[in-house]
Structure 1
Amino acid sequence: MKSQITNALSDFFFEYETPRQVLVRNKRVGVVCRLIQLGVLAYIIGWVFIYEKGYQSTDTAVSSVFTKMKGVGYTNVSGRETVWDVADYVFPSQGDPSFVVMTNFIITEGQKMGTCPELGDKKKCSSNADCEGGSFKRTGHGQMTGVCVNATKTCEVTAWCPVEDDRIIPNPPLLISAENYTLFIKNSVTFPSFGVTRSNLVEGIDTNYISQCLYHPKTAPLCPIFKLGDIVKLSGFEFEKIAREGGAIGIVIDWTCNLDLDVKQCKPEYNFHGLYGNPNNKDNSASMGYNFRYAKHYMEDHVPKRTLLKVFGIRFDIIVKSLARQFDIIPTLTAIGSGVGIFGVATVVCDLVLLHLLPKREFYKNMKFKYTDTQTQQESFGLDSNTYYTLDAQDQVKDKSNDPDSEAGSTETEK
């Protein structure tokens, strides 16, 4: 028992096994094999290494965005002249990456808390029974008092009076001058894995350049100052149409960098996408545009009042998209190893053709596989060593001519 264990361990540690190989001279199979290997090689080089950059590791950026608007607007509504600056038409005013620029509005001045009739299309009534006191209508302006106002045939409500009438949206937009406002974007990105920090104020962009540049996709692609009219146009919208009822536009800052090159080559690209508010899109006709309300409260003769504005505007969402690549030995070896493994597909396909499809498949099976006679092996264990070796030598001589591994039996001529 001890000897058997010792022999087993000795065989395990001191013997080497190698696969048996058969050289098949067959033009068709050879061509198929080489074509498959060529395809695998093209995939590894073209797709894995050149297109997918399989020899590089990747990282995404930690990003921050700061914005600043500039521009002045002017309106004349019912003879009242107003100048609008950044503090009036940008919401919020802190320079966030998502903000709204007001382009149109409906103003209701002098509202105070009290009772007044609803609008004509909100709650029609013919008697007090049609106005349930204490209840609310989802699209109404306040709580119903239970009184039907005969003059308007609408229910009376407790609300900020007079109630807002937003049924008619000004056309053309009151702040059409917003087309000439400018937006300054300051963006910084850091790729932690590579220790690289970049800003969209790249080399060559200094105070003098910023003071006179304006973004253009071809002539000034790195200028961080954008005209709102240009942004809207590049996103596929018409400014006047989107300004009337509002909408949403995405500004994408794309940082796709190959850090195997000079880090100065890592520069941003700007893209603009219309997210919502295209009047030409009939699917969104049920709820067009983008709007919200805000109020300016004040006191008049010790009575709290407010000026209510329904704001129509363009919402800008600045989105940073980033991907940096740099050479790394680990993904390189992984890509090479997986590619070498894929080469085995050629062997599998050719074996299937040889052993199952070709007319001489039995001949190839004899070439590829060596079969042993189990019964003969069992009987040989009953012989003494001299007899066993004698029979073994005789069998080798006898089967030399019939052995498919011999030179005589390993030649196949293709006709």
Structure 2
Amino acid sequence: MELKPLQADVHVITDPHREEKNQYESEERDSLSQTISKMPCKRLNICEYETHKLVRIQSVRLGSLKWTFNGVILMFICIVMFWNKEYQEHDYVVSSVTAKVKGVAMTSLPDVGDIVWDVVDYSGPSQGKNSFFVVTNVIVTKNQRQGKCPEVPPYGKVCWTDKDCVKGFWDQNSHGVQTGACVKFDVTQKTCEVSTWCPIETKKKPPKRNILPEMTDSYLKHCQFNRRTDPWCPIFRLGDIVLEARENFSEMAVEGGVIGIQIKWDCNLDGFLRNCLPKYSFRRLDEKESNRTLYPGLNFRFARYQTEKGVGERTLFKAFGIRFDVMVFGKVCMTH
């Protein structure tokens, strides 16, 4: 059988007006594209906008992991805020310190005998704001009178003749004014004579509101600071303070020193978290090594005057002791 190809007529209907419109729009797009390409924003990519494609996956495992991470981050932020108390307003402590020393002590001094010391004797002169001083050792020079006597080495100049001494000479280390005479100090040496209080003191080493509202008068009369059993009692024994500063009281009392009493207030005034109690700490503030400082320890001098047979005399005391500096600092927090 012979197959004959099918023939069909195809008629294409064209619209001359539509072709003309499409050609015009194409030319307009080409012109706009060329214009944009010449703009600076096209070169700098600031006239472009990008979006990220969002893919939503139905997975219990991935969903749980996502919310676990979100929960951990939120918990960390909350813990940091509560730990640093960033949700509260802060203010710093302004304080005034009042210290009172009480008690008596009895000592036996060479050439003097037994002496009872009360607050007037051992508290010493005022040491300034927020400080108090307690005498722990003393050197006594009895029966000093105005006169002439040999200067004491090493401050006195060792001499052999009067020519070695200059009349009227003195310096900051002298005990008096030189008379120009060279006199015998002891069996081995001579020193320049001075006009001063005689006999001169020999240079030798000395012998070896933190009251809380709940604290009643009865409590304060019997309490005593103890780090473990009573850490908020404001009454301290000197030995306990020095021990808390990791020092030996018997050694420190020989030449004296300075102890810092630090009172820290870290107060939270919010109702259910209210807490405002002092924390005490102690540390030594001065340099205790004799080879690291020119004048180790702490001391001062005072005299008691009397008249003996119409002649004025005095007893000189060189007192060594411990100065206690009270330092208060802290922070107060409250939520508004």
Distance 1:140 1:37, change over 3 A: farther
Contact 2:299/2:318 (<8 A) preserved = yes
Equivalent residue for 1:222? 232
Q: Does 1:22 align with 2:55?
A: no
Which stretch shifts more, 114-123 or 235-244?
114-123
Alpha-carbon distance between aligned partners in 1 of 2:197 and 2:154, rounded to the nearest angstrom: 18
**RMSD (CA atoms):** 3.0
Equivalent residue for 1:60? 92
SS at match of 2:285: strand
Q: Shift of the alpha carbon at 1:264?
A: 6.1
Q: Does 1:137 align with 2:137?
A: no
Q: Shift of the alpha carbon at 1:147?
A: 1.3
Equivalent residue for 1:165? 202
Alpha-carbon distance between aligned partners in 2 of 1:92 and 1:60, rounded to the nearest angstrom: 31
Q: Shift of the alpha carbon at 1:40?
A: 8.4
Alpha-carbon distance between aligned partners in 1 of 2:120 and 2:304, rounded to the nearest angstrom: 13
Q: Shift of the alpha carbon at 1:259?
A: 1.4
Alpha-carbon distance between aligned partners in 2 of 1:159 and 1:85, rounded to the nearest angstrom: 31
Equivalent residue for 1:88? 121
- Deviation string for 1:169-188 (max 9, x for gaps)? 112xxxxxxxxxxxxxxx1x
Equivalent residue for 1:308? 316
Alpha-carbon distance between aligned partners in 2 of 1:37 and 1:303, rounded to the nearest angstrom: 92
Equivalent residues in 2 for 1:185-224, closer than 5 Å:
187=209, 200-224=210-234
SS at match of 2:95: strand
Equivalent residues in 2 for 1:16-415, closer than 5 Å:
22-23=51-52, 44-47=77-80, 49-77=81-109, 78=111, 80-92=113-125, 97-122=130-155, 123-150=157-184, 152=186, 153-171=190-208, 187=209, 200-261=210-271, 265-276=275-286, 278=288, 281=289, 284=292, 286-328=294-336
Amino acid at match of 2:223: C
Amino acid at match of 1:104: N
Q: Shift of the alpha carbon at 1:241?
A: 0.5
Amino acid at match of 1:22: T
SS at match of 1:304: strand
SS at match of 2:295: coil
Alpha-carbon distance between aligned partners in 2 of 1:304 and 1:290, rounded to the nearest angstrom: 29
Q: Shift of the alpha carbon at 1:118?
A: 0.5
Q: Shift of the alpha carbon at 1:321?
A: 1.0
Amino acid at match of 1:311: A
Amino acid at match of 2:280: Y
Contact 1:203/1:264 (<8 A) preserved = no
**Structure 1 or 2: larger helix share?**
1
SS at match of 1:230: helix
Q: Shift of the alpha carbon at 1:268?
A: 1.2
Alpha-carbon distance between aligned partners in 2 of 1:39 and 1:305, rounded to the nearest angstrom: 82
Equivalent residue for 1:413? none
Query: Could you state the TM-score of these two structures normalised by the residue count of structure 1?
Result: 0.59
Alpha-carbon distance between aligned partners in 1 of 2:291 and 2:73, rounded to the nearest angstrom: 46
Alpha-carbon distance between aligned partners in 1 of 2:333 and 2:115, rounded to the nearest angstrom: 52
Alpha-carbon distance between aligned partners in 2 of 1:128 and 1:42, rounded to the nearest angstrom: 89
Percent identity among equivalent residues?
A: 40
Distance 1:91 1:263, change over 3 A: farther
Unaligned 5+ segments in structure 2 are: 1-47, 56-66
Q: Shift of the alpha carbon at 1:166?
A: 3.0
Task: Report which of the two structures shows the higher radius of gyration computed on alpha carbons.
Answer: 2
Amino acid at match of 1:160: W
Q: Shift of the alpha carbon at 1:276?
A: 1.9
Distance 1:289 1:95, change over 3 A: closer
The number of aligned residues is: 272
Contact 1:250/1:272 (<8 A) preserved = yes
Alpha-carbon distance between aligned partners in 1 of 2:183 and 2:140, rounded to the nearest angstrom: 25
Distance 1:72 1:216, change over 3 A: same
Q: Shift of the alpha carbon at 1:285?
A: 5.7
Amino acid at match of 2:115: T
Q: Shift of the alpha carbon at 1:324?
A: 0.6
Alpha-carbon distance between aligned partners in 2 of 1:20 and 1:53, rounded to the nearest angstrom: 43
Distance 1:325 1:162, change over 3 A: same
Distance 1:136 1:282, change over 3 A: closer
Q: Shift of the alpha carbon at 1:76?
A: 1.7
SS at match of 2:159: coil
Contact 1:90/1:101 (<8 A) preserved = yes
